[in-house]
Amino acid sequence: MRRMLLDTIKGNEILAKDIITDSGIVIMSAGAIVKREYISKLVELDIYYIYIEDEYSVGIDDDDNIEELIKEQCQSIVKEIIEKYSYQGHGELVHIQHVAEEIIGDILKQPEIMFSISGVRKKSESTYSHSINVCALSVLLALRMKLPKARVREIAVGSLLHDIGYTSVTFDYINSLYNECNKQEQKELMKHVIYGYSAVIKEEWLSQTSKDIILCHHERIDGTGYPFHKTEDKIKIGSKIVGLCDTFDCMVYGHLVPKMKVHNAIDYIVSQAGIKFDFDIVNCFIESVAAYPNGTAVITNEGERGIVLRQNVKCPTRPVIHMISDSNGKKYTQWVEKDLKVELTVFVVDTIDL
């Protein structure tokens, strides 16, 4: 089973999972044949990817996808809590602590897991999926950096709420790119950290660490961030962690910035180690995030094409690959599997569509 964006569907694929609308209605059942003419209708329903079974999906390990697991458990709850708070302004926000504990618990159950981010997300779920993704990755990094459990909980809560200020932004920014906005719109987008902090400042149950994350997750260690242009020693560890995770997720999903492939977004984060992002956090990040998530189609330096089956712990750029075709484009008739942790002369040069 693997996920495919609708714009890569050729037709006649076999559906591996039910297609369910946001209201819970099953509109296509597993086993159905997907036809090209269905795509426009699915897009109208804000569905942008599906799960299929094909020759390339054999052997793919999808069980360790933290992103999908946590999203399924938590997204609707986070959406309900934040929307109720935004509209009613009282009471509900404290329940976000339970979601934070749920996410921490899921990650603690799989301490050696590689964070696998798909780059595939429905537009309608992007705001809340973003907060959940940032939380899951922030918790994973905080735990691996051996921060105190109380601090991990504060980071989890702060990361779930880090973008709550966007609910007060005065224009529709959802399909916008920051660099294409005018100066007034850019200033308004930057104000989301102030709006968010102002919204929670009187929440006595919320720790100062969590509040600081909402206010300072766009600060950078070279002083180029906002709102205060803080430098390295003035930015708290929680805000540094969430700031990195927020940047990465925005790049992978194209939230206010041009969308990047996962491995290119990782390359950007690495390039900014010691400049915008803390060295220790970046080092932990590159050991924890899969550059080529399971199910990703790739091409190697030898010209072979394949699909990623599973990850090697602490080797995020060297997964196990099922080779589909050789350097001449000829399909293998037998199962060929390469573990890039063993095949040291082979490496991935790019991701492709199959």
- pLDDT at position 153: 97
- pLDDT at position 284: 96
| Per-residue pLDDT tens over the stretch 116-155 | 876 555 554 567 788 988 999 999 999 999 999 999 999 9
Mean pLDDT value across residues 54-69: 68
Over pLDDT 90: what percentage of the chain?
Answer: 59
Mean pLDDT value across residues 109-116: 80
Domain boundaries, the chain: 2-53, 66-288, 297-352
- pLDDT at position 88: 61
- Which of 51-65, 252-266, 282-296 is predicted least confidently? 51-65
Pick the CATH number of 2-53 from 3.30.499.10, 3.40.50.2300, 3.90.105.10, 3.40.47.10: 3.90.105.10
- pLDDT at position 28: 87
| Per-residue pLDDT tens over the stretch 31-55 | 899 998 888 888 787 777 788 888 8
Helical pair 96-108 and 66-88, crossing angle rounded to 10 deg: 170
- pLDDT at position 224: 97
| Per-residue pLDDT tens over the stretch 170-224 | 999 988 999 999 999 999 999 999 999 999 999 999 999 999 999 999 999 999 9
Mean pLDDT value across residues 273-296: 94
Q: Is the pLDDT of residue 231 over 70?
A: yes
d(CA 75, CA 78): 5
Q: Is the pLDDT of residue 268 over 70?
A: yes
The type of residue at 351 is T
pLDDT bin (cut points 50, 70, 90) of residue 341 is: very high
How is residue 320 annotated by DSSP? E
Mean pLDDT score of the chain, rounded to an integer?
88
> Does residue 324 come out as left (phi exceeding 0), alpha (psi in the -120 to 50 range) or beta?
alpha
- pLDDT at position 166: 93
Mean pLDDT value across residues 244-255: 94
Q: Kindly report the length of the chain.
A: 354
Mean pLDDT value across residues 321-326: 95
Mean pLDDT value across residues 260-265: 93
- pLDDT at position 121: 55
- pLDDT at position 119: 54
What stretch of H or E contains 185?
Answer: helix 183-190
CATH architecture, domain defined by 66-288: Orthogonal Bundle (1.10)
- pLDDT at position 128: 78
d(CA 47, CA 45): 6
- pLDDT at position 25: 79
The count of C-alpha atoms lying within 13 angstroms of the C-alpha of 320, restricted to the half-sphere facing its C-beta, is: 12
pLDDT bin (cut points 50, 70, 90) of residue 85 is: confident
The edge-to-edge listing of strands for the beta sheet with 13-15 is 2-5, 49-53, 13-15, 33-34
Cβ atoms within 10 Å of 204's Cβ, excluding its own: 7
